A and B are shown apart, each in its own frame.
Chain A
């Protein structure tokens, strides 16, 4: 057991040092090469003039020319032959300075293959090749992006816009993320650079042909397409109509029929106006606001009926008919003759209606969320964006289309506090790692950990006293003195439970809370070697109390020093004893911020306070004090801290 404690820290330190060394090596490697280049140039500069004057003038010019040509040739060959791996990349790097219009053109023959229609039965285990994405916790999934091409049909007509601003931004984001790889062989996911965000801006058949000729297409396996506006008139499909075979689809406006659970991803429809809203500015306040222009007349009638019923708290806006020229219609909304700025008007309402139109996904949802208005989503069978990971029920209200007339009363019934939370769209939370209410079995017992330096006599008294506690299952002595050996085995008091001595490598107070392997019970009694006034009844009772509150520290105050505690608030004396869950020992060692631990070790103090802070911070619960008083008549009458049960937070 010796050496267990120190082995942890040095290992970490060593690792850190090696890392730093490695980093330095990188730096020097780079530096050396740069230095070498500089040296080389300096050499040429100095030697050149010295070499040349010996030749005749004619020849000189000839040599100079020759040399330059050779040099240029060298550069050229160096570029294209000595570093053959980078030919492709060099073209990419030069592309960087080019415009989107200069990308290579690919002609699609009319008879080039078309992928199958999207396969609705696809799931991860049937259509996805997991072998490309092996388990590697560090690198995670790797994404490859095809380089940008311009596709034309046989007659030279463009198949679609080369790339839209949003798609370019999206690809840039992927490229900047840690998931990106430029190695097509290492990739798990492939993202075509063919822009299919808007189905109406592309030719379906030709786009499909373009997809099919991608170098790794393979029926679309592991390919990911992004689409925000699916479907077209008259029936508006809820998923992209481009035949795409097995490709995954991240789409806006999926319905439950087209969405392949666990395979597709539902994304929001991007709205370019969203960025223009500044939070938080709340206007006078409507209760319900409808801002969409393209509502079906039937819906509009229902909304207007709501407005008529509930007066000013409901506002149903429409497009403006009498705008002067030059004012963009998309940024204005009107109610009768009143003109409102869109999307700013969204901030003036508590709830904003997001009604389905021809499509299920609506760009207005982005505007509404951005404005901090609570969306009221009325679109049956719509798969909300990122619904697999987002708990939309806590940020929005979903109402069935049929229930639209009851919208007002439904929204009225939502408590104000909940509305505020929905508007903030965030929830603070403390999650207690020991959240399950368990009362550990009594039979398990506890382990007493006695931290000692050299007070052997007092230590033995503590051991004898503690060993009388019925529920004690093991005694662990942490020998914190490196200069002196613990007494011989024969000298220790004979007790009924196993006694182990752990020698530490350094005299640190944090050793008290180290999760030693020897501790097999959940409960740990941390006790100093000079606490001799606690009786076994008190200790046993303390253990019972801990069983009822296993996620808290249960402690006895330093009885004799109580006065001091009160007077000098932060001057704790060393008499401090507690029952603590093994879990927290573990936390103390591995999760406690390093600064605090170092501070505690350096000052030889305060480890108990640090522990208290830790537990309070992790669980949000306070400690419990057990009164160790003999004059109490019945043992079950216990004093427990009812006053200081406030939440303490870690303040550094």
Chain B
């Protein structure tokens, strides 16, 4: 196990040396000289040159802060690895939350599994024949009445501000009689999730995808499958670069649909300081009736 040993020696010597050489500009090429193997470009490459030059006073010893930064900059790849672990853990936890609820489905059937998934993600739903919404209570307490409705289909789903993503849509696509879906403000909903909406093409009438940061025009073109869509809300999508044009194209694509698109500045920008035309202001929404 020569690798950890050399790394140990390197760390020890660096700390020793750093205490003495407080005046040096940091250049972590030196650790490579401590390796037993001959120095070749690949080894040197693995210890990157730190961009920041840590300079402290020529006479006083370096502070713990600057020594710590010097140490960290020399362990760039290790820090990279730790940060990768943390981002992988985050992705993994999101994936676990959105996994397919196969166990619930095998015990109670698909409708219960969908209902349980929605409640676990802190969303809400309403059954076809009933008028009350099922939502998780305070501190995640669930009203377990939904277990009585094994065969009832879900009419409306409200997943606004939840962490639903592409994998989570697996849990919802079984609901073929869904009429309203709200994905407002979901940070993980992107174009790929929108492509899964084609499973609801025969029933979905209302869709709300406003305030989702990852949706772009490439995903909106996948909404053409939803033939029964009557109301679509695409307000405040930061991923749209030319919202006015996209709204017009969507209206052409979905002629029977009422498109709500507030939160965009649709005025024509003047070029060179000359005002060409004043369009609508951003506070008023632009709601158009499609031709029936």
Q: A and B from one assembly?
A: no
